[in-house]
Structure 1
């Protein structure tokens, strides 16, 4: 008797906060049940024979409805129910995800002499991602060691660490803390947050793509993301501007930040 269903995302993750409502043909609610930690709904309320409407809802997901016919068993078996994120965008299941610096990259690209690009990366960083049941309330925090900038040229790296640019002795850490997560298209999100760089805090938006989730060789589950942002050096009080000729600066005023992130489900990182 009653109702049974299993509510999942398109990727197969349990929707733990799903609610299933059953109404009769007059629109009267006859049953309402919440999913457990495995996304399973199992209610033993007896239902009279006849047709019903089954509605499945969850915060952050598009609701779905279907018709079910109850026979003498007095039971509806809805089977596997798949909910899609509102806007068509999936994200990893709720909880804490720890950024794995060994399998991630934090880089930046700057124009050099007006004709080519210089690429750099930071080799030490860490952070965590908290996916909320209400995706808009999800959070990201990251810390980067400014002194680990690496452009492949020792002299240039030394200059970038100096007071002309990062001033790593005075400002050893670069931090980012998100304030909101907003859908930006069928497969993209905008992460709104605050970047602290060179002693200046500015609002910076990240253009985020979620690349998928899967198991790793160490028994964990990983999620992959790609994000980009454009920064202006003078917004962060890095105004060094050597002009080489005809008004051309040695280093461009705009930086393109590129992030390739792997995050492991849980508070810690596996070995490997």
Structure 2
């Protein structure tokens, strides 16, 4: 009797196939970008990270299986001003020589309606990991996916901007990291 029940269980499992899961996506670096805005004195500055690697698995029907991980090469910070770029990559700010990368890892996606999601994530930078929450628009259309949003960060929470830069009087404390991700099914 046990063998017969076991055989039926195997047959049912085979007919059902493997459990459904989210799709893997390959991000197109040419049409994806990470930009950040902040204040330097009274002047707004827009900069970007030119190099980042991604691991993306997402399907609106299987949010529990979703995974988004972005590893940002801190040496790729560029603002169009060589002096500012060198200072931003230095030990007082990003410490690109020591920290090498920042890591963003989404942990949960809560649907807000339509293509909008509330995303809980963790951000690791300069040896500090913090929980963050932000909204994102994520559109999946067949074998293409597109995501965009803004992640607000207080730079001093991660030890970015020490010494004379810690107060926010020379460089603002608030940084908005905007992302645009264009991907195809992998």
Which range, TM-score by smaller chain? 0.7 to 0.9
Secondary structure of the residue that 2:30 maps to in structure 1? helix
Aligned equivalent of 1:224, options 121, 141, 146: 146
Aligned equivalent of 1:135, options 59, 63, 78: 63
| Aligned-pair Cα RMSD in Å | 2.5
The more displaced of 99-108 and 150-159 is: 99-108
Is 1:144 aligned to 2:64, yes or no?
no
Is the CA contact (8 Å cut-off) linking 1:109 and 1:119 kept in structure 2? yes
Distance 1:144 1:209 in 2: 21
Aligned equivalent of 2:36, options 92, 108, 118: 108
Aligned equivalent of 1:169, options 82, 88, 97: 97
Instruction: Give the equivalent residue in structure 1 for 2:155.
Output: 233
Is the CA contact (8 Å cut-off) linking 1:112 and 1:252 kept in structure 2? yes
Instruction: Give the equivalent residue in structure 2 for 1:63.
Output: none
Instruction: Give the equivalent residue in structure 2 for 1:98.
Output: 26
Secondary structure of the residue that 1:235 maps to in structure 2? helix
Secondary structure of the residue that 1:97 maps to in structure 2? strand
Give the drift of 1:126. Answer: 1.6
Mapping for residues 1-272 of structure 1, pairs under 5 Å? 94-113=22-41, 115-132=42-59, 133-213=61-141, 221-240=143-162, 242=164, 249-266=169-186
Give the drift of 1:171. Answer: 0.4
Is the CA contact (8 Å cut-off) linking 1:211 and 1:226 kept in structure 2? no
* Greater fraction of residues in helix: 2
Is the CA contact (8 Å cut-off) linking 1:128 and 1:141 kept in structure 2? yes
Distance 1:187 1:104 in 2: 18
Structure-2-length-normalised TM-score: 0.81
Secondary structure of the residue that 2:98 maps to in structure 1? coil
Count of residue pairs the alignment pairs up = 169
Alpha-carbon spacing, 1:248–1:140, altered in 2? closer, same or farther (3 Å): closer
Secondary structure of the residue that 1:134 maps to in structure 2? helix
Distance 2:130 2:99 in 1: 15
Is the CA contact (8 Å cut-off) linking 2:74 and 2:94 kept in structure 1? yes
